[in-house]
Amino acid sequence: MIRKPCQIARRPSGPTPRGFASFGIVCRLNHLARSTGREFQACAIAMSIFLNLYRDSKRVRDKACSLLFSRGFYRFGSGSVICLPFRLGGESAVEIGSRVYLGSNCWIEVMDLDPETPRPIISIGDHSSFSGFCTITAVSRVTIGSGVLIARFVHISDHSHSHASAELPIKDQGVTKIAPVTIGDGAWIGHGAVICPGVTIGKNAVVGANSVVRDDVPDHCVAAGVPAKIIRRPETDSNTSLSR
């Protein structure tokens, strides 16, 4: 039997085809695929160590920045963490309780802060958690209770943009429909929900994903839809799902 000579992979002379990784990465992956079990295990351990170091470095960075920023707030409770990046405005009128988690890319802002307006204007209770990419803006008052769970991309505001003029751009017409928003203790606001001005969400209430809440949600009730409607009350079967 005649053995064919080993073919050594060479870097292609032309550009790398679209949709493929670079030639060096492909070679590395081929090498890993041919590695012995011991080599692969060592590589997996090294990667695990690297990922743990990366996570720890982010935690240290976020805690250090939270401690640095805390003096600018109306109140900033112990053990609370703001994950970077983060957008803030009017933080001197923002109260954050203890052990609150604010995920990355959140935006919290008090609009057109009036020195005579009673503080705080935005208040977040103890042990509440925001997954990230959440927006809370206020002119009058937004109150979020303790132990509230808020999923990603939730929008909470106590005002709306005015659009009375047909000539001016909407962004230059100021705000209207200003009314306080309250979210009770232990509530859960699903992914992408919008909480409109003047709404009160009760204790341990649930708002389904992508809902637009324009009316109050009583304690222990489940609301979903556009606009959101009550789909379950405490006295109904507890096994009723949000999809019904």
Residue 126's identity, in one-letter code, is D
Identify the pLDDT of residue 58.
87
φ and ψ at residue 215, rounded to 5 degrees: -125, 160
Rounded Cα gap, residues 123 and 109, in angstroms: 11
pLDDT of residue 10: 53
Q: Please tell me whether the peptide bond between 169 and the residue prior to it is cis, using omega within 30 degrees of 0.
A: no
Cα four-point dihedral sign 112, 121, 127, 182: negative
pLDDT tens, per residue, the chain with 244 residues: 555 554 544 555 555 554 444 556 656 656 655 655 667 677 778 888 888 888 888 889 999 999 999 999 999 999 999 999 999 999 999 999 999 999 999 999 998 777 777 889 999 999 999 999 999 999 999 999 999 999 999 999 999 988 888 899 998 888 899 999 999 999 999 999 999 999 999 999 999 999 999 999 999 999 999 999 999 998 755 544 444 3
Q: Name the nearest CA neighbour of 228 among 213, 242, 218.
A: 213
How confident is the model at residue 159, as a pLDDT?
A: 94
pLDDT given at position 14: 54
CA 17 to chain centre: 37
Task: Sketch out the chain's domains with CATH numbers.
Answer: 73-232 (2.160.10.10)
Residue with tokens 């962004």: 171
Which are the catalytic amino acids? 161
Of residues 120, 71, 78, 63, the one with CA closest to residue 95: 120
pTM, 2 dp: 0.76
**pLDDT (0 to 100) of residue 221:** 97
113 neighbors 91 (Cβ within 8 angstroms): no
Concatenating the DSSP letter of every residue in the chain gives -PPPPPPPP---SSPPPTTS--HHHHHHHHHHHHS-HHHHHHHHHHHHHHHHHHHHHHHHHHHHHHHHHGGGSSEE-TT-EEPSSEEEESGGGEEE-TT-EE-TTEEEEESS--TTSPSPSEEE-TT-EE-SS-EEEESS-EEE-TT-EE-TT-EEES-EE----SSS-GGGS-EE----EEE-TT-EE-TT-EE-TT-EE-TT-EE-TT-EE-S-B-TT-EEETTTTEEEE-TTS-TT--TT-
Residue with tokens 């080993």: 6
